[in-house]
Amino acid sequence: MKWWIRAGVLLSAVVIGFWKMPVVKVGSGDKVSSSVRYVALGDSIAHGYGLPDPEKDSYVGQVGHYLEENYDYVFMANLGTNGLRSEQLLDILTNPDNNMYRKYRATLKYADIVTLSIGSNDLLHLVSLDRDLRDYIEKGDQMFREACSQFAVNFPKIIRAIHSISPEAQIYANNVYNPCGDLSGFANLHYLTERYVGLLNEAFCESGEYTIVDIKEEFDRTEESLLNMTISGRDIDPHPNKKGHARIGSKVIKAIRNGGRRKN
């Protein structure tokens, strides 16, 4: 019988459950008679925003299902948070005064696999339909470039913080897709976002500390609609749809099967 312990348990149960499970090495994709601990970190993409059944349809849920098929015991915790930016995640992981600090560190402490989806909101929080158009014209390029530069500082610190908590964890980091990829009727907007998404993704580089999961390439090379991209009133929804999450899940699972620590 396989157990899937989800993130809603009390923190004390999290710590006890992690502590009792034997440590296993993961990455080969071979079926083993043991346990694996999977923690998902990140923003609304990890959370599964906009999906009718996030636990099943999100890429995090799909990774969990894959692990459930290959291990007898799976501990899964999805800490994805809507709207989370890189500086906020870094603060959670490193600042003892942050009210989420203890929860995140206790959950990560015994993790074998960590998936990470972060960066989109570093740019998207600057986009507002209420912002003065003149402000964008005069300061937009500088704002977006500064956001990309700050992400390049924050991201490696996040990776190091995760490893300081769980030194043996395999980290799989998704890069950032173009949220306007489905807006074919707005070529100028697509070109503009492509420029800054490209700058932001320069922070993801070949490293022995984590594996890059190239979601940008995966989304770029398909003509299929993978986003919920809608503009309704003053609301913008650039999140992956069910098909988009399926693509992300497949890429992450492939990286796990390959053993990680290289671009996938």
Q: Give residue 44's Cα distance to chain centre.
A: 8
State the burial class of residue 52 (Cβ atoms within 10 Å of its Cβ: 0-12, 13-18, 19+): exposed
Which pLDDT band, with edges at 50, 70 and 90, does 8 fall under? very low
Q: Are 100 and 92 in contact (CB under 8 A)?
A: yes
- Answer yes or no: is pLDDT of 232 > 70: no
pLDDT value, residue 57: 95
pLDDT value, residue 23: 41
CA–CA dist 45, 101 (Å, integer): 21
pLDDT value, residue 103: 97
Between these two residues, 11 and 191, which has the higher pLDDT value? 191
Q: How many residues does the chain have?
A: 264
Interacting residues of 2 by C-beta distance below 8 A, sequence separation 6+: 68, 71, 72, 73, 74
How confident is the model over 60-77, as a mean pLDDT? 96
Which pLDDT band, with edges at 50, 70 and 90, does 18 fall under? very low
pLDDT digits (tens, 9 = 90+) for 151-177: 999 999 999 999 999 999 999 999 999
pLDDT value, residue 134: 61
